[in-house]
Structures are given as C-alpha cells and as structure tokens.
Structure 1
Amino acid sequence: DDNGNIGKRYRRQDEIGTPECIVIDFQTLDDDTVTVRDRDTTEQKRVSVDEITR
C-alpha cells in the first residue's frame, strides 16, 4: 500500500481486519529489522528480518 501516510495505511488495514502489519522502512536497510504492529493492541515492536522469515 503506497497511498497516504503510515497512520492512514494502518487504519485501512485495521478496517479490513489485517491482524498484524509488517512495515519495511529506512531503518530496515540499516539494521535488518522491521516494525510489526498488532491490530488489536496497536503495540509496535522492532523484529529482525530473520525472525519474521522463520
């Protein structure tokens, strides 16, 4: 999804029921981590790409 800011993207995904969103950003390029956001709690955490691909 490449329309709008991250808040709008999260809201769109929340509306359609996506349980978790994975965000790849500029920090990913530096340290091989992504942000994982939980729909129900809105908790966000950085997770290594290796952990996601297991």
Structure 2
Amino acid sequence: MICEYDRVKVKSTGDTGIVVDIRNTNGTYFLVERDSDNELIDCIASELEKLGRGQQ
C-alpha cells in the first residue's frame, strides 16, 4: 500500500519522488513530486513502485 510521503518510482520512466497527495476522484490518484526537478506527476497505483529505505 502506498501512503503519503512514501518514496516511489514511476515504472514507465524510472523517475523517483515522494507522494505528496492522495485523492479519490473516479479512482485513487497519487501526486508525486519528482526528485530531479520537483515537477508534480499524477499517477495511479499500478504506475508506481514503492521504494524501501535508502533506495533511489
């Protein structure tokens, strides 16, 4: 289960970041702040991989 402030990787691009918001509108969406440039990315759970401690 992915929670707010978890470190995640976007599977399609390999980008890593932190989940900064979770909303439930017609499904569950995760707003991820990308590490490289702080851009915000909107994703669904199947597009994300939760990273463990120390993984980037």
TM-score greater than 0.5 by the shorter chain: no
What range describes the TM-score normalised by the shorter chain of this pair? 0.3 to 0.5
Q: Structure 1 or 2: larger strand share?
A: 2
Compare the two structures and name the one with the higher helix fraction: 1
What is the TM-score normalised by the length of structure 1?
A: 0.44
TM-score by length of 2: 0.43
- Please tell me whether Structure 1 or Structure 2 has the larger radius of gyration of its CA atoms: 1
